[in-house]
Structure 1
Amino acid sequence: MHPDLAPRTAACLLFDWDGTLVDSQYANYRAMAGTLATEGVELEQEWFDARTGLSSAEMIHTLVAERGLGLSRPVDTLVADRDAQFLKEAHSVRPLQPVLEVVEAMRHRLPMAVASGGARHVIEATLRHQPFHDAFGTLVTRDDVTHGKPAPDIFLTAARSLGAHPSRCLVYEDSEEGIAAAHAAGMAVIDVRPYTGRTAA
């Protein structure tokens, strides 16, 4: 485990999913771009990469607002199509080694949770293929809260589920929205991007 990723005095570890625990960035982009293409919308990867902390629905709403788009189908239908496209590739998603090493080192030593802005059924389907599939005490997703990241709700819900005070939790994240959510929750946070090969936006 890289020493800068070590949890030190934390009593509980919370991990974002996409881009933190798993390298799903390109698979997620292909799924979203393919879905929006059916609406005649071209999605640039650079735009997508800068907003990975948002849920799929929030990302589509942001795109619509920024570009003044009119969609032929409801957002929840588009999200369902995006998820279906992604799930065809779920078996190919691999863990990010630097964060995997943290999980393996802390397994059975500290309570840990996945705390993600993604959809529960998508994460559960992908998690089954991961070497750490049984390492987490709870999974909290965008489906479980009223407000997604950068609001603190996902992280606070995960901490409650593990019985940990927010001030004793350490968050591993890879997006500006996620880092802001951790700070809003009163939690320490490690930006994993310098260790996983992605640079901070």
Structure 2
Amino acid sequence: MSRMHPDLAPRNAACLLFDWDGTLVDSQYTNYRAMAAALRQEGIELAQDWFDARTGLSSAEMIRTLLDERGLSLARPVEQVVAARDALFLEEAHTVRPHAAVLAVVEAMKHRLPMAVASGGARHIIETTLKHQPFHDAFQALVTRDDVERGKPAPDIFLAAAEALGAHASRCLVYEDSDEGIAAAHAAGMTVIDVRPFTRR
């Protein structure tokens, strides 16, 4: 078990909310490969730097943003492309590893503070990937894009997670790795720690 970095310590928080992709787990390249392969089936090439700059968006929102920016259209509904992306990702879900710095926080705070995963990802993807993680039993709640009307940067996911834990938003601490997620945490009235300085190699 690695030691928790002092800059990641919860301080006075009553509950902890963790983003999933890029925060709890290093799934960036696996997510990119799955999305790129799904879009390639549509004859669309996806650059990794474009993808990396929009990791706070859900898959559907990312695809719609790409189509709007390029003035493109799909041969099939966005939902079918997302389903293809999800299937490709799930084939690799067992290879996804936790970010050590954030894992140390979870291990230190397990049984001490209520914790939830609050992600713009899809529930079935996270539930499947979570089974392969060392912290699979550490969270009291899982809230995803499937559970709310609006994704990040709207605050809905974080507010729903706080409610699931029975905690007031102002006492929640969010761990995030995207600009959209940080904006969502602020919009929810929560304190947020940007984990990117601790997770980027």
Q: What TM-score, normalized by structure 1, do the two folds share?
A: 0.98
Q: 1:182 aligns with which of 164, 182, 185?
A: 185
Q: By how many angstroms is 1:53 displaced?
A: 0.3
Structure 1 distance, partners of 2:115, 2:80, is 32
| Partner of residue 54, structure 1 | 57
Q: By how many angstroms is 1:132 displaced?
A: 0.3
* 2:136 corresponds to 1:154: no
Structure 1 distance, partners of 2:127, 2:42, is 28
| Partner of residue 127, structure 1 | 130
Q: Aligned with 1:170: secondary structure?
A: strand
Alignment of 1:6-155 (within 5 A): 6-155=9-158
Q: By how many angstroms is 1:70 displaced?
A: 1.4
Letter in 2 for 1:68: G
Letter in 2 for 1:40: G
Q: By how many angstroms is 1:168 displaced?
A: 0.1
Q: What TM-score, normalized by structure 2, do the two folds share?
A: 0.98
Letter in 1 for 2:129: T
What stretches of structure 2 of length at least 5 have no aligned partner? Answer: none
Q: CA deviation digits over 1:171-201, x for unaligned, max 9?
A: 0000000000000000000000000116xxx
Letter in 2 for 1:51: R
- Root-mean-square deviation (CA, aligned residues, Å) is 0.5
Q: 2:176 aligns with which of 168, 173, 176?
A: 173
What stretches of structure 1 of length at least 5 have no aligned partner? Answer: none
User: How many aligned residue pairs are there?
Assistant: 198
Structure 1 distance, partners of 2:191, 2:64, is 29
